[in-house]
A = this chain, B = another copy of it.
Amino acid sequence: MNTQEALTLFREKQLRINSYRLALTTMNWDSSTIAPKKGADYRNHMMAILSGELFSLYIDPEYIKLIEQLAAADDLSETESIEMKQMLKELNKERNIPKDVFVKFAQLQRDGETIWEKAKETSDYPLFKPYLQKLIDGTKRNISYRNDTRSTYASLIDDFETDMTIEKYDEFFALVKEKLVPLIHAIKEANIPAPAFLSASVPIQQQRAVVELIREYLQYPKDAGLISESVHPFSSSFSAFDNRVTVRYHENNFTSSIFALIHEVGHATYNGQVNPEYQGRHIANSMTYGMHESQSRLYENMLGRSKAFWSSLYPKVVELVDALKDVSLDEFIFGINYVTAQFYRIEADELTYPLHVLVRYEIEKDLFEGNLTTEGLDEVWADKYESYLDIRPQSTSEGILQDVHWSGGAFGYFPTYALGSAYSAQFMNKMSQDLDIDKLMENNQFDQINGWLKDNIHTFGGLYTPEQLLLRITGETFNPSYYIDYLLNKYSELYKIKL
């Protein structure tokens, strides 16, 4: 079979695989947003079977042979060649897992999420614990089939962020700790109380109206996107023209839904601005987790928490939200950047955020390296929060049970959150050389910002590694000092602290 014949046959099989993936994406979305609870058992069972069907297609010897042939071919276009090499790499990760092991793990992932939801509601870590243990064991087992010489956690790290290592993360987090902790301490000592409006009661209906206002401002399209509600906000890419987000409304924390929205729309915009010719191909969605997070963080923090973002929006928000009647724009900006140690990662301010991630990174690493077990892990979690942030969660729902990730077996995911923030600072530095970002936001021209992101980052999908993209766009490889400097400058100024 020549390369073109192989490619045609491969694309046909890829479309078939895509049909299963879209089915599971849709079922996941449905399950997380609107599905009635009592249907969960049957639904989880069916999804596990369908995941097994999908897995069978992934490990179909004919399909694998095509990928191998195409990854070795020298007469493909450059994008096709990169795509096939990426696919071969992915394939090698999973190809030796026996189907029954895979199906069992898929069922465990679904059960894990269902049990986690229940456990979170009632702060019942012991209910979740055996599932967490099984998920860790299952993950180790899955990775053992790879015959990788690295540790399980090293492999997981690389899965979520191409070319990342434990060593690089250790260095990065050491820098975060060294530079940021003193500033956080100084801010704590300044002892400035939280603005009252942050915890004011804001009816959900007013919050929905604000969310709709911001949707328009960000130019997140209604005919190619959707805003729904779920326990934990997330974004989900159905296809080039269907990229959705969820938020969650808290009556006494209305800025939560605002920044969840901006964050998730950052993800959705990334997927929605990939070259549409890539639709259905691996590179349409093979960006790393860190890269994806860089775009959501850039939206949420670099843009969404800036004064320019709100200058034209804020008067309209005040009209919608009674609790802001007497709050000036400057007070609002200070409030949405207010630094405080609290329990929830997704509610965390920009400055303490990487320490939330650090807690998870250290626990994951120790769990997989054998230095910790699930027994009493809720207490380990609480100890770390006490030691880094000087607060101790009083229940596991505000502690170890707050995040969905582990319940679905996603270990190695968390550190990409901090890394993404660091990438975003490096991209932002470059974008602000090319565009007058503040002026564009003040003039309600978010499309210009989206345009820059599209042309420089989004359109390429997952074609390039993070290091390649950073080099291509900013002229240098990953340099965490943009992130550290950005945080030090911004927060020392906001809190009038001399460093």
Contacts and interface: CB of A to CB of B under 8 A. Distances in A.
Interface in A17-52: 18-20, 22-24, 26-27, 29-30, 34-39, 41-43, 45-47, 49-50
A225 B36 contact: yes
B240 A36 contact: no
A253 B194 CA distance: 49
Contacts of A19: 46-47, 49-50, 53
A128 interface: no
A216 to B, nearest CB: 16
A63 to B, nearest CB: 15
A241 B36 contact: yes
A47 B239 CA distance: 13
Contacts of A242: 35-36, 38-39, 42-43
A38 B224 contact: yes
A205 B91 CA distance: 51
Nearest to A28: B26
A429 interface: no
A239 B43 contact: yes
Given A16-B49, A26-B26, A39 B280 contact: no
A121 to B, nearest CB: 13
A225 B50 CA distance: 23
A46 B15 CA distance: 8
Interface string A221-260: 1111110100000000011111010000000000000000
Given A30-B30, A49-B19, A39 B239 contact: yes
Chain A binding site: helix, strand, loop or mixed by DSSP? helix
A387 interface: no
A39 to B, nearest CB: 3
Contacts of A122: none
Contacts of A223: 36-38
A79 interface: no
Contacts of A37: 223-224
A35 B241 CA distance: 10
A224 B37 CA distance: 7
Contacts of A26: 23, 26-27, 30
Contacts of A241: 36, 38-39, 41-42
Given A26-B26, A42-B280, A222-B36, A50 B20 contact: yes
Interface in A47-105: 47, 49-50, 53
A331 to B, nearest CB: 32
Given A23-B23, A27-B23, A42 B224 contact: no
Contacts of A42: 22, 238-242, 279-280
Please indicate which of the listed interface residues A22, A30, A46, A224 has the most CB atoms of chain B within 10 Å of its own CB. Answer: A46
Contacts of A225: 36
A240 B238 CA distance: 27
Given A27-B26, A42-B280, A239-B43, A226 B34 contact: yes
Interface in A305-357: none
Contacts of A46: 15, 18-19, 22-23
B27 A22 contact: yes
Interface string A246-287: 000000000000000000000000000000000110000000
A45 B15 CA distance: 9
Contacts of A45: 15
A29 B241 CA distance: 18
Contacts of A43: 22, 238-239, 242
B238 A39 contact: yes
A463 B23 CA distance: 30
A35 B242 CA distance: 8
Contacts of A49: 15-16, 18-19
Contacts of A15: 45-46, 49
A223 B34 CA distance: 10
Given A38-B223, A224-B36, A280-B42, A16 B238 contact: no
A38 B279 CA distance: 13
A24 to B, nearest CB: 8
Contacts of A47: 19
A23 B21 CA distance: 10
Contacts of A23: 20, 23-24, 26-27, 46, 50
16 contacts: A15-B45, A16-B53, A18-B46, A19-B49, A22-B27, A22-B42, A23-B24, A23-B27, A34-B228, A35-B226, A36-B221, A36-B226, A39-B224, A41-B241, A42-B240, A43-B238
Q: Which 3 A-B pairs have the closest CB atoms?
A: A39-B242, A38-B241, A23-B23
Given A20-B50, A39-B224, 19 more contacts: A15-B49, A18-B49, A19-B47, A19-B53, A22-B46, A23-B23, A23-B24, A26-B26, A30-B30, A35-B238, A36-B223, A36-B225, A38-B242, A42-B238, A42-B239, A42-B241, A42-B279, A42-B280, A43-B242
